[in-house]
Amino acid sequence: MIFLHRSPALHRVLYPLIRFSKRSYTVTMSDKIMACKKAAAVHAVDEHVRDKQVIGIGSGSTIVFAVQRIAERVNSENLHLVCIPTSFQAKQLILENGLVLGSLETHPQVDVAIDGADEVDEDISCIKGGGGCQTQEKIVASCAKEFYIVADSGKYSQALGTVWKKGIPIEVIPMGYKPVQLKIQKDLGGKAELRLAKMKCGPLVTDNGNFVLDWQFTSPGNWKDINSKLVSIPGVVETGLFINMAKIAYFGNPDGKVTIHKAPWAF
C-alpha cells in the first residue's frame, strides 16, 4: 500500500483514483502499474537529463516519478536545471520538489521534454490529453530539441484507438464548441462529446479556460492529415494527436525492465 500523505504531489495526482475509508486510503491503481511507470520515468531521466539543461516537464501520474528522479539527481549531482511546466500540476510538482521553475518567455528553447501518454503506437504517434493538458504539452514539446515519452507497457498499441477508448481530446474555444462538434462529426464521422467535469456540474475547463471535446473516431486513418483537418476548424485550439514529435518511448514492464521503442522516422 502507498500512503499518499507522505507525498503531497502524488496525493494530488492520484486523488481521483483512490477511495476513502475512515481508517485508511486504498490505492486502486495496482502497485505493479505504479512500478512500471516509475521504471520508465527513471530510465528516461537518467538517459537524457544533463547539467545546464532546460527541461520540459509533462503532466500526469508518470511524470510524478520523473520529477522526483530529477530532484534526486539535482541534489546528488549538483545539476543546474531550469524546468518548464506544461500544466498547473507540473508547476506544483516542480516547486514542491525544489526545482528551478522557468517559462517559455524566458527559455523559449527547451533541451529535453519528458511527458506521459494515454496511448502510443509503433510509430511513436501518441494520443495525449486525458488530463486536459494537451495544448500546453504540445507547445512545450514543439519547443524541445528532444521529446521523450514515458509510460507503462499497457499504453503501447499497434494502432491508435486500440488501448485508449475515450477518444482523441480536442481543446476548443467555449463559444464555438457546438459548431466545432457538429463540423467534426459531419466531416470526419464518429462522435465528439463535450467532456464534463467530475467534481462539479458542467464542462471540464482546461488551464487555458477552454473546453475539451473527446472525438470517438469510426476508423483509424492518416493521423497527420486528420490532425491538420481538425486544427483547421475555426474554434479548435489544439488536439491530443502528437504525430512525428516524440523520438523515443520508454515503457516500464511488470518485471521491472524497460522496453525502448524508437520512432522509425527519427532514425
Q: What is the pLDDT of residues 136-150, one digit of tens each?
A: 999 999 999 999 999
The single residue listed with the C-alpha cell 476548424 is: 233
Q: How far apart are CA 120 and CA 128, in angstroms?
A: 9
User: What is the average pLDDT across 207-212?
Assistant: 97
User: What is the average pLDDT across 85-93?
Assistant: 97
Residue 177, C-beta contacts closer than 8 angstroms, at least 6 positions apart: 194, 203, 211, 213, 235
Identify the pLDDT of residue 232: 97
Q: Is the pLDDT of residue 100 over 60?
A: yes
**Cβ(151)–Cβ(189) below 8 Å:** no
Q: Is the pLDDT of residue 262 over 70?
A: yes
Encode pLDDT of 29-77 as tens digits: 588 899 999 999 999 999 999 999 999 999 999 999 999 999 999 999 9
Q: Is 137 marked active-site?
A: yes
Identify the pLDDT of residue 29: 54
User: What is the average pLDDT across 224-252?
Assistant: 97
Burial class, 170, CB count within 10 angstroms (exposed 0-12 / middle 13-18 / buried 19+): buried
In percent, the amount of the chain with pLDDT more than 70 equals 89
Question: Radius of gyration of the chain from Cα atoms?
Answer: 18
Q: How far apart are CA 115 and CA 136, in angstroms?
A: 11
Please tell me which residue, 28 or 129, carries the higher pLDDT value. Answer: 129
- Catalytic residue, from 137, 146, 193, 238: name it: 137
Beta strands in the chain (DSSP E): 18-20, 25-27, 54-57, 82-85, 110-115, 119-120, 126-127, 144-152, 168-172, 191-194, 211-216, 236-239, 241-242, 248-252, 258-262
Q: How far apart are CA 245 and CA 236, in angstroms?
A: 20
Q: How far apart are CA 252 and CA 15, in angstroms?
A: 22
Identify the pLDDT of residue 8: 52
Q: The pTM is what?
A: 0.87
Identify the pLDDT of residue 125: 96
pLDDT category, 265, cuts 50, 70, 90? confident
Encode pLDDT of 150-196 as tens digits: 999 999 999 998 999 999 999 999 999 999 999 999 999 999 999 99
Identify the pLDDT of residue 250: 98
User: What is the average pLDDT across 215-222?
Assistant: 88
At 140, which amino acid appears? V
Mean pLDDT computed over every residue of the chain: 90
Q: Is the pLDDT of residue 199 over 90?
A: no
